Structure 1
């Protein structure tokens, strides 16, 4: 044995070959600080061993190395800037020393080689992968850039154009594509991986591969002519500006770094990479996106534990109520392999539900993501019916009829008479109390909310709402069914609007008050989209939701939380609803919807909306962007804080993921709790107090004052 650590070991094989094996204690290999230290120690041991003529690097696990240990990032990035720079510089130098070993090295890649794992393969002279391999640099998804030499070695290996496309998008490559682009030298079947790697290494030792020339190429300036470089980098800058926009600094930093480093050798280029990485690591955007990753891990871990505890398997689903929503839910079950009965009382609704599923599949076929067999299998998994008896064998029934408590109550009561005693029944209600609906049930313990978001096939979140009498067994089974459907479940407790809609309606109320005070809804949308980063501003979102739906839901919220959410007099939403301007569903709301000359969907500010609102609104007034953001976001943040304090949601991390997955909260802001903590809780308290005179939705709780005064973080509270 040449070296033995906790995460890796090195030993001598036959004929001067040695192997370095990554085999961490957990389920995957990661680069944590301990592993980096061990890599440095093994490099020293290999350098000093005169018997080694060539080194094979492999993983003992089903995947190579998944990247850096992100759980260490929060603590690392909280360090002063000079200490972060010192850490990343010293770590990247460990990889440099490995690259400088006095003999050829080859990486045998299986499974994922991502981030630091990809950079480990890049410091090797040769790379062979098996057909299971995926290789890439996804750091951009965390608001970061490669920090262990990726921006230096990859451009010199595959060209700056390809390398920047890899890094700025964060998409990994399957082995064959990576080989076609020059990142991998050979692809073989999994059973031949080690044998092929050894064979290539022997050839390198024998001089059949000029490994020294390959290494020199990675350490020299980029071989680009002046005009070629100018074209390459200006194209990359334009692409990043168009795709990433201004809210995501990481891809811009990558392009700038590779551009400036093009004429430098390895050491000069790495210095620029270290500095760029440090700047990003200290940015609010990286903190937010790393926070999202960790929150997502927490949500997934919680979901898996609950699903594991489920003692009932869902072999058949039933959806009550077809149409757009019911059809979307039926599609989601069917496409993931669970047969579904779609029941309605009217044939046209069933036809609409089936056509919704077919439309989604058709678009998938156009994009090459769905083949004819997949389309046929999915549609065959959906059985439309007008007959209640068809649902008798369903293990899970999802009620998705009209949003009316009386109608839902009748349907739930009828359903319970038809299905088996152990069948689980859920409601897809978006606002009606689960406890209220449970009063219609003989066995309320088998009933809960299962709130999907529209469009079902695109929105990742499903809110699972626990009623007072819902059993833990029911929750666990519905969590398992949600995961099987390819969705992210977040369990919340019952309250008006549950979690997402409860915090959305104060945001809408803030918008309505702003418009009544003279704000131009187009200007508000522009600020909330372009500056805050929402995918849609509030007026556009209300048009998508539908004015009828929004008006009805605001009445439900008003009845449920009258102390804060009483209906606003002359609410612009109600005005448009009464004028039958329902939004996208009838082509007219705040905006008029149609098609342009090329047949593409269009939306234009509606003169009719301005005329309708004129009598109830103050004279038009220009509002500062910060005031617009504050007047919409403070009510949302306040209500989310109340939800956490009341135990409606289990943790700040789950709350942030619910808004990210349910509403499209801007990822670079990390969620509503990350947003207020980035601002600073004391600053948030001061901001809310500034607008407290506008009404109860702007008034903060004693709890947030205490948190701010004591310097605590919502992310420190137990999940």
Structure 2
């Protein structure tokens, strides 16, 4: 044994060839923490001290190769100054350069995921061999940073600048065949032949068949692009990527600039440019929030996994109520491999549900994501029925009928008589109390909410709602099924609107008050879209549907009359109610705050409409000029305050789950990290002061809670303050 550590070892195989194996103890994956980097430095020194070695293979004993750096260290590390971050990266550059400069050929055997720093490790070796099912990529821009351990330097020299930009700016995870096509890897082989193929390459390099020194020289030299070629590659890419990334995500364009600045330089100077670019991005608020988002997502996944381990198998399911929503649920279940019965009382509804599922599967086939055989298999997983005949074999039922408590109650009590004693019943309700719907059930412990968001195939969130009598087995099975469907389930407790709609409607309440005071709704939309929302509140209401919004608003007003009742005075109407009364339901009937025309792809395109402005003037008490910051405050404070209340009331368990639910459920701007991170960024005391000022004029919707005031007085936060000591 040449070296043995906690995370990696180096052993000789007897032919003067060494294998450096990553195998982090007590972990299911390999990641590059500070401790692992330190071990790698020791291992490389041990390799350099061996005088008779003729080659090195880098491999992994885990299912994944290396998934990247240890992101849990990022907040503490990035709290340090730019000089520290530059020096840290330069230390890693020196280490990786030492691997690249070893006096014999080197190869990496990529058996599984090689991402971020893991991918950059592979780029240090002369050759790379990849297993057929392995994936490789540099996803750093998705965390608001750029590859800082040589990715921006080596990948363009190995694969070409245009290919490297595509991978780095897109943050993509790429399959083996794509990596081979781009020249990132030298061979793709079945997993069982991986290490033999890698060792064969070392033998051929030592025999002079493969020129490993020429490979190195190419990686260490400037890019072979003249001035015109450079301008065409980089300037075109910057314009395109800036358009796709948008103004709130600087990392993809910054990565292109770093590649461009280093293109005419040798290895060390290009790496110095990369280290500075990395440090600059690591200090941004966008990076802080996107790293926080990743960590929050890990919290949510960990909780989901814990429930999944406790769950009874869910192998056959059913959806009650076909149509668009039922068809979407049936599609998602069937596409992800769980057979589903789709029941309705009308044949035309069944056909509508099947049509929706068929349409979504056809789109997947057209995009090349699904073969025609797999599409046929998925369709066969959906069994339409007008009766309860086969419901005795079902493990879980999703009720997705009209949002009416009497109808839902009738359907749920009826189906309970046809299913087994252990079958889980769920309701896809967006607002109706789960405890209320459970009142007439014989087995309320087997019942919970399973709230999908529309459109089902696109929206990642599923709220799993625990009623007063819901048992742990029901929650665990529902979480497991949601995860099997490729969704992110978040468990919440029962209350009007649950978590996401309870938080969303104060946001709409803020919008109604703005319009009431004379703000132009189109201007409000533009301000909130510029702030980072995918669509402004008026546009979002048109997508939700005015009838749905009015119904949900009534539920919220009944549940929280002090702050969510309609209008500021008795008998006042909101702009939403006026639209509803004038049969302007939004996209579903082609007119709401905007009118809708079909674009070239057949999708609804919003167009400004004078009639909508005339109707809105009925609720306006005048015309008031508000700054963009005032509009943002009036929209964001009620949403953030209600999130705080949900956390304080125990509706949601942690700040991480609350923030992820808003990002996945209603498109809260990811680069802002979520409602509670948004308050932390502003400062709790500053937020309370702003909320008090607005509450004095606009009422209890804006008022801070006593607990939030106490947090402000004690200088507390929702998330721990990262300190330099953490690094």
For the aligned pair, the TM-score class normalised by the smaller chain equals over 0.9
Distance 2:253 2:630 in 1: 29
Distance 1:175 1:441 in 2: 52
Distance 2:578 2:277 in 1: 51
Distance 1:96 1:552 in 2: 63
Deviation at 1:80, TM superposition (A): 2.8
Determine the structure 2 residue equivalent to 1:181. Answer: 182
Determine the structure 1 residue equivalent to 2:556. Answer: 557
Per-residue CA distance 1:518-557 (angstroms, 9 max, x = gap): 111111111111x211111111110011001100110010
Listed as ranges, the matches of 1:301-450 within 5 Å are: 301-310=302-311, 312-450=312-450
Per-residue CA distance 1:384-438 (angstroms, 9 max, x = gap): 2222344333221111111111111111121222222221111111101111111
Determine the structure 2 residue equivalent to 1:106. Answer: 107
Determine the structure 1 residue equivalent to 2:642. Answer: 639
* Equivalent of residue 705 in structure 1, options 706, 709, 715: 709
Per-residue CA distance 1:459-515 (angstroms, 9 max, x = gap): 111101001111111111111111112211100000110000000000000011111
Distance 2:369 2:110 in 1: 27
Deviation at 1:326, TM superposition (A): 1.3
Distance 1:469 1:426 in 2: 13
Determine the structure 2 residue equivalent to 1:611. Answer: 614
Distance 1:477 1:40, change over 3 A: same
Deviation at 1:87, TM superposition (A): 2.1
Distance 1:130 1:485 in 2: 27
Deviation at 1:150, TM superposition (A): 0.6
Distance 2:221 2:695 in 1: 61
Is the 8 Å Cα contact of residues 43 and 101 (structure 1) preserved in structure 2? no
Determine the structure 2 residue equivalent to 1:5. Answer: 5
Distance 1:641 1:81 in 2: 34
Is the 8 Å Cα contact of residues 520 and 621 (structure 1) preserved in structure 2? no
Distance 2:561 2:82 in 1: 48
TM-score, normalization: structure 1?
0.97
Distance 2:486 2:20 in 1: 38
Distance 1:362 1:368 in 2: 10
Deviation at 1:600, TM superposition (A): 5.4
Distance 2:134 2:317 in 1: 36
Cα RMSD of the aligned pairs, angstroms, is: 1.5
Gaps of 5+ in 1: none
Distance 2:582 2:342 in 1: 34
Distance 1:424 1:596 in 2: 43
Is the 8 Å Cα contact of residues 518 and 617 (structure 2) preserved in structure 1? no
Is the 8 Å Cα contact of residues 40 and 98 (structure 1) preserved in structure 2? no
Deviation at 1:597, TM superposition (A): 7.1
Distance 2:390 2:15 in 1: 70
* Equivalent of residue 684 in structure 1, options 666, 684, 687: 687
Per-residue CA distance 1:324-353 (angstroms, 9 max, x = gap): 111111222222222222222222222211
Determine the structure 2 residue equivalent to 1:248. Answer: 249
Deviation at 1:598, TM superposition (A): 7.8
Q: Partner of 2:454: helix, strand, or coil?
A: coil
Determine the structure 1 residue equivalent to 2:628. Answer: 625
Is the 8 Å Cα contact of residues 138 and 171 (structure 1) preserved in structure 2? yes
Q: Partner of 2:109: helix, strand, or coil?
A: strand
Deviation at 1:32, TM superposition (A): 0.6
Deviation at 1:309, TM superposition (A): 0.7
Distance 2:53 2:544 in 1: 67
Moved more, 424-433 or 70-79: 70-79
Q: Does 2:536 correspond to 1:537?
A: yes
TM-score, normalization: structure 2?
0.96
Listed as ranges, the matches of 1:244-323 within 5 Å are: 244-310=245-311, 312-323=312-323
Determine the structure 1 residue equivalent to 2:170. Answer: 169
Distance 1:339 1:191, change over 3 A: closer
Determine the structure 2 residue equivalent to 1:662. Answer: 665
Gaps of 5+ in 2: 722-727
Aligned length: 715
Per-residue CA distance 1:290-310 (angstroms, 9 max, x = gap): 111111111111111111111
Deviation at 1:65, TM superposition (A): 1.0
Q: Partner of 2:518: helix, strand, or coil?
A: coil
Q: Partner of 2:305: helix, strand, or coil?
A: helix
Q: Partner of 1:292: helix, strand, or coil?
A: helix
Determine the structure 1 residue equivalent to 2:154. Answer: 153
Distance 1:274 1:294 in 2: 24
